[in-house]
Structure 1
Amino acid sequence: MIHYHVSFDNPLTFYLQVQMTFEVAADATKPLELQLPAWRPGRYELQNFAQKLQRVVVEDAASGEALPVRKITKDRWRLDGAAGRMVRVRYNFYAHQMDAGGSWLDESQLYLNPVQALMYVEGRQDETCQLLLDIPEGWQIACGLPQRGPNTLEAQSFDHLADSPLIASPTLQYRNYEVEGLPFYIWIQGECPVDWARLVQDFRAFSEEQLQLFGSFPAQDYHFLNQILPYPHYHGVEHLNSTVITLGPAELLMTEGLYKELLGVSCHELFHAWNIKSIRPAEMQPYDYSRENYFRTCFVAEGLTTYYGEYLLARAGVRTAEQYFQELNTVLRKHYDDYGRYHLSVADASMDLWLDGYKPGVPDRKVSVYHKGALAALLLDLTLRQLSGHQRSLDNVLRQLWTEFGQTGKGYTEEDYQRAVNEVAGRDMQAYFDKFIYGTAPLEEPLNRVLGFVGCRLLTEENVSAAEGTYGFRAVVSNERTEVTNILPDAPAALALTVDDEIVAVNGRRVSQNLQVLLSDGADQHELTVFRQNRLLTVSLTADPGHRFWQKYTVTKLTTATPEQQASFKQWLKQDFQPV
């Protein structure tokens, strides 16, 4: 067994004291290697957690004798001469990152993601791990791990430990509910108003819908760990039998705007308990925490989950169809705002998460696995429903993946996913994959076609902004400066402006919070005075009367939907059509 001990002397410093103790066999001949994870599952980029460590010491636990240790990479240490010894590793960990994948220490709580802070012994990841928390009397622990004693948690392996965040605090609140005998816990840390009756009712509804979809659950219980913060924030991270959600501002938790965010992220993260934590790509069986784990199927892991995270709330009756369409339209807007959709497939974007997937990146380079992945999932779901008259859907694909891979612990490949889709469709779906997963074909026409099957359509609206709709650029006002932030590559603005230009005048009129007004005078040409690299220039913008830019796409119901379309809508969303 590997023993971990976490304590803190002064929470005002944010430093935790971490100890790791383990016994080394007397006949061990090879040096031991200690590894701190370089990334965490759920965020596919190297985060180099070793930058949070201070003063690593390795010693004989019995005598206190220092043992010879050498750092061999940024987050790996080699230990010689440890045979027959009880080894203790000590270091300080800086817990000052308040998001759903971070760790935090202050006077009110200890919040720990073990994957950030705890090392493992190479080759011994499958050993049982025990974590002792040295916390003040009266503090409660919220965690998916079982407790084996006072403040003592036990994990089946390092992977189990790394996948089990915890909150320890004297002010934790919680409620629990059951679905088909499975216990769910909603934990809240933070000063906020909570309508527990409404919260439990809505959480139970979407939990029931997900369990009905898959038929069984990958764990014995589930914990929603909520950090409700006094400032605006939004983040969630999935784990096998828990999730951490950071959300704020706290006083607005039960208002419509923030509450819908809580429901959306909670439903999304619970879905991940099946899709990615259990139905896992072959490249991540098991996780290698020391390096990138490249995989091309994040459009399955995140795209399908983004689609179902909102869709199931409507199916469960937690949200109306109109509320669901609002969220779907947000995904459409984000997808069509990004011209990277013409340049990178969603499969290649899965690989590029490790490159720059969580940063804005250079203009028009990449596409989002979340947004395009969700729209491709919507297209596939409605296509399967149309082919089978609602006898089969994307639900069937997920159930097949759960049975074949999730319940067996076998990782799936790209080919496995395609095979499952083909089998559910009852035909070869290669064209779908070639166009929308491995290619960059536009989604508008096929989406509009399948939406018609459920009495809806993809509505195209012109952009009324002169800068965006007529000239194809965006600008923001920052510190009283109007600066260009985005330019579409095929727009008139691309011939005259560049990103970071400061626009100071239009046709000789000073720009001051009035750029749109000055460009909306009906003329097809405007002279812009700009500062570019501190040089004053005048450039000419000429409109293309036959071409509009940054059009708006929204899903809406047909005003003349047939009874068949209305019935199809109900089979998809489990709600009456309610004509507009």
Structure 2
Amino acid sequence: MIHYRVSYENPLTSYLLVEMTLAVPADAPQPLELQLPAWRPGRYELQNFAQKIQRVEVVAADSGAALPWRKLTKDRWAVSNAAGQQVRVRYRFYAHQMDAGGSWLDETQLYLNPVQCFMYAEGRQDEACELQLDVPDTWEIACGLPQSAPHTLAARNFDHLADSPLIASPTLQHHTYEAGGLPFHVWAQGSEALINWPKLLSDFKAFTEVSLALFGGFPVADYHFLNQFLPLKHYHGVEHNNSTVIVLGPAAQLMNDELYKELLGVSCHELFHTWNIKAIRPAEMQPYDYSRENYFRSCFIAEGITTYYGEYLLARSHVRSPEQYFTELNTVLRKHFDDAGGDNLSLADASMDLWLDGYKPGVPDRKVSVYHKGALVALILDLTLRQLSSHARSLDEVMRRLYQEFGQTGIGYTEEDYIRLVNEVAGRDMQAYFDKFIYGTEPLLGPLDKLLRTVGCQLVSAPNPAHAENTFGFRTTSRADRTDVSYIWPGSPAEKVLSVEDEIVAVNGVRETPNHQLLLPGNAPHYELTVLRQNRLLTLQLNAEPGQTFGTRYEVRRLREADEAQQKGFRQWLGWEY
């Protein structure tokens, strides 16, 4: 067994003291190599956690004698003379990142994502691990790992440990509910959050039961929602083996409609990940390799389908009304259609490029979101399968079979496996769907509208109310006392005169103030703009001309008149009367 111990001296410094102790056999390969993960599951980019480590020491535990070591890479260490020794590795880790993938230490709590701060011994990732937390006796621990002793957690192996975040605190709120005969735990850290627990538990139970029914089982024996409710605005969630960390704020507004809606959406999304990516895992990640990128082309399944179901199941479980669901779907539509990157990169290639720049804006018009477009092509597939089978089959069956064939067996699936299952559920060759929407850049607008009409809905267009976006094709961001050009639609009138990062100083000779509604007053066809570009003051003429712009917004609405078949399709898709 490999032992880990976490303690601290002054919580206000945010430095954790980490110890790792392991016995090295006399005949073990030399040197002993230690690896700190370079990334974390759920965010497919290198994160360089090693930059938070300070003062590494390696000693023989019995004698206290120092053992020589050297760094091989930014996050890999080689220890000499370790054979036959009980080796103890000590270092300090800076825990000052409060988001769903981070770690945090202060006088009120210890919040830990082990994947950030625990090294593993190369070749020994499958050994059982034990984690001891040196925190006050009065502190409670929220974690998906079982406690083998007070403040001591047990893990099957390093992957189990790395994928089990925890919160230790004296102020945790804890409630449970049961679904499918299994216990679900809801933990809350944050004194400002005044939670309506009966409502929250009822809503969580509802979407959990619908999710369990969809898959016909659950990969784990229990589940933990670990919530950090902050006094400031925040939104983030990360999935784990049998838990999720969700960071939301401002906590005082948690039960207000807008923030509570976000809590429900991210919670349902992360629970769905328990099946889709934690159990149903791509072959390229079976097992995880924490030392490098794990490239895979199927994130449109892992994240796109999960994004679709994360909101859709809230409607099916009657936690949300159809119109509330459409509001969330309209946000996905807006985010997709307000970016031209979908013309230039396929979903499969965007999955690969998550490791490159998937979580940053990147250069203009280069990429497409596996989350937003992925959700829309999942909707297209679901409605197509329903149309082909008169709702006897759907994307539900594809996901259920993925779980049965791969999630329950521990075998990683390939793109070919997914295509095969889609074809089998459809009862026909679906290659055209994949060629257009997964491996190509076919527009989604027409197919979406056509399929939505089969379930009594349609895409309704409306003009973009922002004059700069609608008429001229550019978007701005305001901060402090300046307004900057942030996005220009390809082929737009604005593209002829403006550049990204231009600061708009004046409009028609009047000093610009950061207010989007007044940016281009009067909805005129011509404006004289004074901009600051690379510290040079320029005067430009902006003219309304034919071209591409952010001209149209799309929304899902029910048809004013739906026939009997369309109304029936609506009921079968959403589970609501038309």
Q: TM-score, normalised by structure 2?
A: 0.98
C-alpha distance in structure 2 between counterparts of 1:159 and 1:124, whole Å: 11
Instruction: Check conservation: 2:471, 2:551, Cα contact below 8 A.
Output: no
Is residue 383 from structure 1 mapped to residue 374 from structure 2 by the alignment? no
Query: Aligned partners of 1:554, 1:292: CA distance in 2, in Å?
Result: 37
Give me the whole-angstrom Cα distance separating, in 1, the residues matched to 2:549 and 2:359.
30
Tell me, yes or no, if the aligned pair for 1:463 and 1:548 is still in contact at 8 Å.
no
1:551 positional shift: 1.4
Rounded Cα–Cα distance in structure 2 between residues aligned with 1:283 and 1:92: 32
Structure 1 SS opposite 2:16: strand
Distance 1:165 1:546 in 2: 50
Which residue identity is paired with 1:195?
Answer: N
- In structure 2, what is the equivalent of residue 282 of structure 1? 283
CA spacing shift, 1:515–1:508, aligned 2, 3 Å? farther
Q: Which residue of 2 aligns with 1:414?
A: 415
Tell me whether 469-478 or 348-357 shows the greater mean CA deviation.
469-478
State the match for 1:153 in structure 2.
Answer: 153
- Secondary structure (helix, strand or coil) at the match of 1:131 reads strand
CA drift at 1:124: 0.4
2:121 paired residue number: 121
Q: CA deviation at 1:511?
A: 3.1
Instruction: Give unpaired runs (5+ residues) of structure 1.
Output: none
Alignment CA distance shift 1:548-1:141 (3 Å)? closer
Q: CA deviation at 1:500?
A: 1.9
Question: In the alignment, residue 525 of structure 1 is paired with which amino acid?
Answer: H
Q: Are the aligned partners of 2:338 and 2:550 in contact in 1 as well (CA < 8 Å)?
A: no
1:189 aligns with 2:189: yes
Aligned to 1:68: 68
* Distance in 2 between residues matched to 1:504 and 1:544, nearest whole Å: 23
1:316 matched to 2:280: no
120-129 or 476-485, larger mean C-alpha shift? 476-485
- The answer as to whether partners of 1:491 and 1:549 remain within 8 angstroms in 2 is no
d(CA) in 2 for partners of 1:562, 1:231:
48
Alpha-carbon offset, residue 29 of structure 1: 4.4
C-alpha separation between the residues in 1 aligned to 2:503 and 2:82? 63
For residue 184 of structure 2, give the secondary structure of its aligned residue in structure 1: strand
Residue 509 of structure 1 deviates from its aligned partner by 4.0
Distance (Å, rounded) in 2 between the aligned partners of 1:574 and 1:479: 47
Give the whole-Å Cα distance in 1 for the aligned partners of 2:259 and 2:152.
35
Is the 2:143–2:166 Cα contact (8 Å) retained in structure 1?
A: yes
Partner of 2:342: 341
Cα distance in structure 2, aligned partners of 1:170 and 1:510: 53
Q: Secondary structure at the match of 2:562?
A: coil
Structure 2 equivalent of residue 439 of structure 1: 440
Shift of 1:539: 1.8
* One-letter amino acid of the counterpart of residue 503, structure 1: I
Q: Give a deviation string over 1:304-344, Cα, whole Å, max 9, x none.
A: 00000000000001000011001000011111111111111
Q: Could you say what the CA RMSD is over the residues aligned between the two structures, in angstroms?
A: 1.4
Question: CA contact under 8 A between 1:233 and 1:246: conserved in structure 2?
Answer: yes
Q: How does 1:264-303 map to 2 (within 5 A)?
A: 264-303=265-304
CA drift at 1:432: 0.6
* Aligned equivalents of 1:546, 1:172: Cα separation in 2: 56
Q: 1:233 to 1:517 in 2, by over 3 A?
A: closer
Cross-structure match for 2:78: 78
The answer to whether the 8 Å contact 1:463/1:550 transfers is yes
Q: What does residue 26 of structure 1 align with?
A: 26
Structure 2 alignment gaps of length 5 or more: none
Report deviation, 1:288: 0.3
Deviates more, 1:172-181 or 1:295-304: 172-181
Q: Which amino acid aligns with 2:130?
A: Q
For residues 576 and 364 of structure 1, the distance between their equivalents in structure 2, rounded to whole angstroms, comes to: 41
2:354 maps to 353
What is the percent sequence identity of the aligned residues?
69
The aligned residue for residue 536 of structure 1 is 537
- The one-letter amino acid of 2:459's match is L
Distance between the aligned counterparts of 1:53 and 1:408, measured in 2?
37
Which residue of structure 2 lines up, in the alignment, with residue 131 of structure 1? 131
Asked if the contact 2:478/2:515 (under 8 Å) is kept, the reply is: no
Q: Which amino acid aligns with 1:46?
A: L
| Contact 1:268–1:309 (Cα < 8 Å) also in 2 | yes
> How many angstroms apart in 1 are the aligned matches of 2:385 and 2:244?
31
Is 2:463–2:470's contact at 8 Å kept on the other side of the alignment?
yes
Deviation at 1:514, TM superposition (A): 6.6
Q: Give the corresponding residue for 1:448.
A: 449
Q: Which residue in the other structure is 2:41 paired with? A: 41
* Alignment partner, residue 363 of structure 2: 362
Q: Tell me the distance in 2 between the aligned counterparts of 1:530 and 1:479.
A: 17
Provide the C-alpha distance between the structure 2 equivalents of 1:513 and 1:249, rounded to a whole number of angstroms: 25
Contact 2:467 2:523 in 1 (8 A): no
Q: Hey, what does 2:163 align to over in structure 1?
A: 163
Alpha-carbon distance in structure 2 between the residues aligned to 1:259 and 1:392: 32
- Match for residue 403 of structure 1? 404
What TM-score, normalized to structure 1? 0.97
Greater shift, 515-524 or 324-333, is seen at 515-524
Deviations 1:219-239 (A, max 9, x none): 010000001111111100001
Residue 240 of structure 1: CA displacement?
Answer: 1.4
> 1:338-392: CA deviations, max 9, x gaps?
1111111111110111001111111111110000000010010001000100000
3-state SS, counterpart of residue 468 of structure 1: helix
Partner-residue secondary structure (3-state), 2:258: helix
Q: Is the 8 A contact 1:525 1:540 kept in 2?
A: yes
Distance 1:36 1:29, change over 3 A: closer
Task: Give the aligned residue type for 1:139.
Answer: W
